[in-house]
Structure 1
């Protein structure tokens, strides 16, 4: 079942669309929780989208999260879910309370948007449904707009195929001293190509094959969010989340389906599939009402500022992009189409919004939450350029516009954080790669996967070729893990945190390498 905004208006459970989608209840009517179904809060709790006066809270009622119909074992009836926010973990000083209505229409998920909190401080929160109380989560508001902010720490992660490994990296991430986590996409995978988890139970039949409808996508989110390490990371910090391709379909591009030749490439079925994928994403992430999908459309580009220190701009490189150039995204040579001025990875409206924001923000660091590699990535050390067209290499005009604007408008210190590649990279970004002497205008840190690709290795033949072919690439590694960032007004420090294996649990974490960017000096160097 995919729910449109028009359909939501017809449900009328409490007389409020906001209540119906689990934002906040505005009616005195209460809907009792079911009894004796199992653990209602089996998927944990989360928070996200922090502002100076509030955050979004999230949970989903799912006593049987892998029930084949995708409804999590919940009955038809709506349920009132209460929440409270406190300054202390014992909830002795509660500062905000409220209720949201969990309905079947959105998988019994709730997304209350809490306001009225103090800026730049930690809070604790929990939910109650009937007599059952959720685990406690911890969250943090952003500093006041423009306020002096001396330091910030965050981590970014991506690409967490459940079938290809254990979420050990999240055990370590949840123990870090962070203010925020940024997830850059591929939170789920629409299909399981390889089950590499040693000792794992057989894949339930309802999770075999490929997700193409709402039940299928819900089950893949439930499978991921049932994992204790991921629950711990969500409960420890607020998150900013976007998507890449596998939340829907491998290598999809705007109105164009991804790889494969199945029936869901037909336009009406593809739009229905997209709507289902977007709804499932909203149901399972701490997102605001502004991100509630409208059928096959979801507003994902948005900004969040942290005092005078950093502004996070989350972009969407999937929904508005032109079709892939010269094939299906695999590396190609002599692809003239990638230079076409009409080709876009952002869409005109989002591109203008991004460029204007880079110019107007007073923050010291501009952090661009990006899905696919922005730096030119030549896979051939010889004279030919061998480039993949699923990344920004396939959309040269947009890349030149964004990086040119950053240079022309002196948009602070631009640092791009990227997922997708299942590898750790550091690369300087040039204004125009067709001009060898083009200046460096920004830095890109590409983070590896949480699990995708299995155990990985410190380096590979492909990595050696990339380093040899790309002088602006300063580091390569293909182990699993996440990136940890600490920034102040003078320095950005990026630590690559890696685990030696993921196909079995219990791996330790180490900092493999650290790179820094200095205020006012584009480009990175190893610390």
Structure 2
């Protein structure tokens, strides 16, 4: 390493040992002591407050930023270098949290620290020599002013018997949309620490997904040097060091985020938005941002700027190598031991990952232009993915590389580190701080299209049954059998004869096989007779139960649609007569395959995921649970050794995914993307106008994505309950006072269940999508949510409470923050998860 660079960052990363008063911090082993700088004098302030991170049994990393009182809170620091003080005590000062009241009690450290303009007046100080499992309080002093009081708790001793740990993990806190009320709720929890899984900042300002409602206390961000994403107007993205520093400074001015850092030590990792959306290494993947040859745009200088800003502003005990001229000048993957109870392994899934298996720059043969995100990262045909991944791995092996080199999320070095850590771990629980989900999230397009075409046919079939019944003396069962046989290809005359024969056989006590035989004898084929008998029976049973008229016609229509049309499309795909009859064969043909929803997460690095799971399985590494962010949803499920094997393979570990603090949901993104796909959009959302007395109607987009992905078959009550949070937010927009919101929502949901569009069309659709059986390893999913996850860990079980929060009320965070809690429980010794 270049000595000058070492000295430069050595003077920034200071270290001291706690042992009493009057200690002076020194930098790296060759750096000058902080006492060489004059003490800060006069009026100062701490606009981003204080923070602590990476608690170990004997150390902590402490952070602050101090500027003169007259300075702008987020402007670049100016002036001369100076020194400030850090005071630490183990005496209880909890009453002073949230204030700049002077710390009381004997100190374990009183340290002079260098405040340097070149690092934007940020301070990173590592304090060692601490006592394990102990709560400490700390405060910085600059000139005449004190910072707010901070608190942290050191990790228990490595060999300690720990009965319980409690922590929150959180992710995706976009300043520019929704609200940060969840942070207030977290601040009230009793925690040992917080894990932040990335997207601490968002690098873009004014992007499409950031144009929704936002709380008034979050004003518009203005990047100092930002570049336009496209052309010379619209959204901008952070590019310079000043841009990235600005975002951290601005985000950290929110007193709710400050309160979290003041109260709890963070263990943080980054994801993509700390640099660039869906990034890999130093490459950005914004649509239409490619080199002239079509390759992804690499931005090593921008990546280095992002790295340095994260390093300066996050309280993480890592080092940045300024002498390293590449963009991989920082290593942030690391692990933590919490007694005998937990080993926490934090990975970096951006800096070393290979390009997406199907690059965004790949040419779409239909348009002659780069694919962009759809087809490369999202809704990727699985067969194509498997083929390209195999080719890339074979190519790597051909030139003597590890086959995973070109298909890796972690990179070869980090992957081996992860394997070694997992194999060597002696703690009861191995928890993986994992940025992107390990769960397979697939869609069988054949089944989906078959379901949609069947649903689209229900109304037409029901109308035909009603007309036929009028001509058949009001006998809906016979009418249903006739329409069923015609739908299956029989002529009208043969269908009528077959239906009469079926009804006659039924009247004389004949069972279903006898009825079918009578229908065949009358001229129906076996398939025609089968659907006719089934329809006759369903309608007759409904009639016996008291249903009449249109209700009987609807039963017949649904029976025919899902008993014949859906299976026909599933069997014949694009060659089904019902596909041709839809008039949309060309538009639908591309969807008759299996898809992977999101190849930016581990589904896009499938072979490496299998290698990791094989390592755990082979070495009998149990009680492994990933805590995950990124996808703006709550998920819980098992990670299997091979999702492509029969029955989805064997569970090896569990993945618990938390929704974002404020970022718009995965459902909302897919809803907007699918809106241009016609009938396919029904797989994601269903628009419904809900009448509200005194307010007119509220337009909702019912979340069907959950059912398409594998949520359990709903009842009318559970389907209505699913939209409670969205409805509450919509009523708030209509001006309903918060004090009246919950009662109004309850009344509207009760009335909604009596709405025929809801309890017939929407409910039937949701039930059919749920019955597709996609992703059976998913035990819980809520793709339309914001919130966080509270974990309680004991030797016997891990309990994760998914805390979904309510939406904005006007332009402020809701008074009632937590809307619902869903609990996922993992019992020691079993790679499974139970939901309650």
Change (3 A) 1:191 1:264: farther
1:430 equivalent to 2:457? Answer no
CA contact (8 A) 1:429 1:523 kept: no
Partners of 1:416 and 1:65 in 2: how far apart?
Answer: 45
Alignment of 1:284-299 (within 5 A): 284-290=313-319, 294=324, 296-297=327-328, 298-299=330-331
Task: Quote how far apart the aligned CAs of 1:152 are.
Answer: 0.4
- Corresponding residue of 1:47: 52
Task: Quote how far apart the aligned CAs of 1:262 are.
Answer: 4.9
- What RMSD, in angstroms, separates the aligned Cα atoms of the two structures? 2.7
CA contact (8 A) 1:64 1:73 kept: no
CA contact (8 A) 2:633 2:657 kept: yes
- Corresponding residue of 1:74: 77
Task: Quote how far apart the aligned CAs of 1:487 are.
Answer: 0.8
1:146 equivalent to 2:151? Answer no
Task: Quote how far apart the aligned CAs of 1:307 are.
Answer: 0.1
- Corresponding residue of 2:651: 440
Change (3 A) 1:185 1:205: closer
- Corresponding residue of 1:396: 606
- Corresponding residue of 1:506: 814
CA offsets, 1:442-480, max 9 Å, x none? 100000000000798997222221124110111112221
Change (3 A) 1:456 1:164: farther
CA offsets, 1:203-261, max 9 Å, x none? 25436721111111111111111111111111111111111111111111124322244
Alignment of 1:97-496 (within 5 A): 97-192=110-205, 193=207, 194-195=210-211, 196-200=213-217, 202-206=219-223, 209-262=236-289, 270-290=299-319, 294=324, 296-297=327-328, 298-328=330-360, 329-333=377-381, 334=383, 335=385, 336-339=387-390, 340=393, 341-342=403-404, 343-380=407-444, 382=446, 384-387=593-596, 388-437=598-647, 438-453=649-664, 460-467=703-710, 468=770, 469-477=774-782, 478-496=784-802
CA offsets, 1:269-319, max 9 Å, x none? 711000000111111110224356655222011000000000110001111
> 2:176 aligns to what SS in structure 1?
helix
Partners of 1:65 and 1:407 in 2: how far apart?
Answer: 59
Which range moves more in the overlay, 494-503 or 273-282? 494-503
Change (3 A) 1:408 1:252: same
Change (3 A) 1:261 1:57: same
Partners of 1:411 and 1:454 in 2: how far apart?
Answer: 34
Change (3 A) 1:321 1:268: closer
Alignment partner of 2:824 out of 510, 515, 523: 515
Using structure 2 for the length normalisation, give the TM-score: 0.58
Number of aligned positions between the proteins: 515
Structure with the bigger RCO (C-alpha within 8 Å, sep 6+) is: 1
Change (3 A) 1:94 1:411: same
Instruction: Compare the two structures and name the one with the higher strand fraction.
Output: 1
> 2:11 aligns to what SS in structure 1?
helix
Partners of 1:382 and 1:61 in 2: how far apart?
Answer: 60
> Unaligned regions of 5+ residues in structure 1, if any?
12-16
Which range moves more in the overlay, 245-254 or 500-509? 500-509
Change (3 A) 1:64 1:413: farther
Task: Quote how far apart the aligned CAs of 1:119 are.
Answer: 0.4
CA contact (8 A) 2:378 2:600 kept: yes
Which structure has the larger Rg? 2
Task: Quote how far apart the aligned CAs of 1:512 are.
Answer: 2.0
Partners of 1:471 and 1:455 in 2: how far apart?
Answer: 19
Partners of 2:219 and 2:152 in 1: how far apart?
Answer: 35
CA contact (8 A) 1:160 1:450 kept: yes
> 2:624 aligns to what SS in structure 1?
strand
CA contact (8 A) 1:164 1:454 kept: no
Partners of 2:633 and 2:277 in 1: how far apart?
Answer: 18
Partners of 2:71 and 2:444 in 1: how far apart?
Answer: 45
- Corresponding residue of 1:497: 803
Change (3 A) 1:472 1:86: same
Using structure 1 for the length normalisation, give the TM-score: 0.91
> Unaligned regions of 5+ residues in structure 2, if any?
17-24, 27-32, 94-102, 227-235, 361-376, 394-402, 448-592, 669-700, 711-769
